[in-house]
Amino acid sequence: MITMDKVLSISNLNIKLHTNCGTIHAVRGINLDIAKGEIHGIVGESGCGKTVSAKAILRLHNDLFTNYSGEIKYDSKSDILKMTNKELMNLRGKYISLIFQDPVQSLNPLLKIGGQITETIRAHSKLNSREAYIKAVSLMEDLGIHPAEERFNQFPFELSGGMLQRVMIAAAISSNPRLLVADEPTTALDVTMQAKILDLFKEIRGKTGMSILFITHNFGVVAEICDRVSVMYAGKIVESGNVKDIFRRPAHPYTKALIESIPKAKQTGKRMIAIPGSPPELSCEIKGCAFAPRCEYAEEKCFSESPREYKISDSHINLCHLKK
C-alpha cells in the first residue's frame, strides 16, 4: 500500500517560540518524510515538540512569536514555510487537515454539528447547501454517526466524546485531503472508544489512500495503527523506522525505555517501569545528548558531543553515540 512518493517532506526544521518566559527552542532540526498512503506516528512525552511540529505543518503558530528555519515541502514542490496567507488558506483543510485532541474544545458549542460539517464542505467545494447536506449525512453514516439525519440537527453537548471525535473526523476528511494530521485524537476517550476510533482511521486510509500523521504519547497506539514511527525527545527525532523493526530491535535507549514502560497484560503484581528523571528545559541550551542525564548507557562524550544520525538500514535511523 505504501509507495515511495512523498506527500510531505520536512528537512532540518527548527522552531523557536518567543514566550513571556523567554525563547523556547521547541523543535531542533527534525527530518521527516511521509509517504502517500502511510500512517506515520510521532511518539514522545509531553513537551517533546510533537504538537509544535504538527501545527507547523499548517503554519498555525503566530508568525510574530515564532521563528522557523528549514523546509516543509508539500507534494515535493511548495515550501509551506514560504507560502503566502492566500496559499495557506487554500492548503488548510483542502489538502492537509488537522484533528485536535479534544473535540469539545474544537467544536462550536452554539452551532449544530451538521452545520459545522457542511461549513467545511462548502469552504472547499462548489457544492450548494442541499448538496453539502447530502454529502455530510452520507459521511456521518459512513463514520458511524447514526442516525445521521437526526444527529445532524443536534448540538455538541448532546453527543458523547466518541461521537464528537467522529464529527471532527467527518469535518476533517470532508474535502478528501491528501494528509490528515491527527494530534492525540484518542487521548480524551475511554479505552473502548479509543479502539473504535483507531479502527476508523485504518478504515479511512484503506478506503481513501489518505496519508495520516498520527501524534501520540502512547506506544501501544503506535503498534496498533502505524506503518512507520518517529520517536521524538527534546525537540529531536531520535529514532525512526518501520513499526515492526522498532518494536523488534529498538536501537535508541529512549525508544527502548518507552517500549519497556508499556503496561503488559502478564505484568500483574509487578511495578510498572518508568523512565527516571524528566526531559530538559527547552529554553536552555542543550549540550551533548539531551537524553544523557536519564540514559543508563551514557558515556562521557554523551554529555559534551551531540550524537549524529546514522542509518541502521535504509528505513531505520538512530541518533545515538552507541552504534549497534
Note the residues at the interface with ligand SF4 (CB under 6 A): 252-253, 289, 291-292, 295, 297-298, 302, 307, 320-322
Q: Report how far Cα 168 is from the mean position of its chain's Cα atoms.
A: 15
Q: How far apart are CA 25 and CA 14, in angstroms?
A: 8
48 within 8 A of 235, measured Cβ to Cβ: yes
Nearer to ligand SF4, 10 or 289 (CB): 289
250 within 8 A of 260, measured Cβ to Cβ: no
- Spell out the residues 6+ positions from residue 311 whose beta carbon is closer than 8 angstroms to its own: 317
Q: How far is the CB of 262 from ligand SF4 (least distance, A)?
A: 19
52 within 8 A of 282, measured Cβ to Cβ: no
Joined together, the cell numbers standing for residue 22 give 523567554
Name the one residue in this structure whose C-alpha cell is 542525564: 293
Nearer to ligand SF4, 153 or 278 (CB): 278
Q: How far is the CB of 141 from ligand SF4 (least distance, A)?
A: 49
In terms of Cα–Cα distance, which of 219, 216, 231 is closest to 184? 216
CB atoms closer than 10 angstroms to residue 177: 22
Q: How far is the CB of 305 from ligand SF4 (least distance, A)?
A: 8
Nearer to ligand SF4, 125 or 306 (CB): 306
Q: How far is the CB of 49 from ligand SF4 (least distance, A)?
A: 17
Nearer to ligand SF4, 114 or 250 (CB): 250
Q: How far is the CB of 293 from ligand SF4 (least distance, A)?
A: 8
Nearer to ligand SF4, 173 or 282 (CB): 282
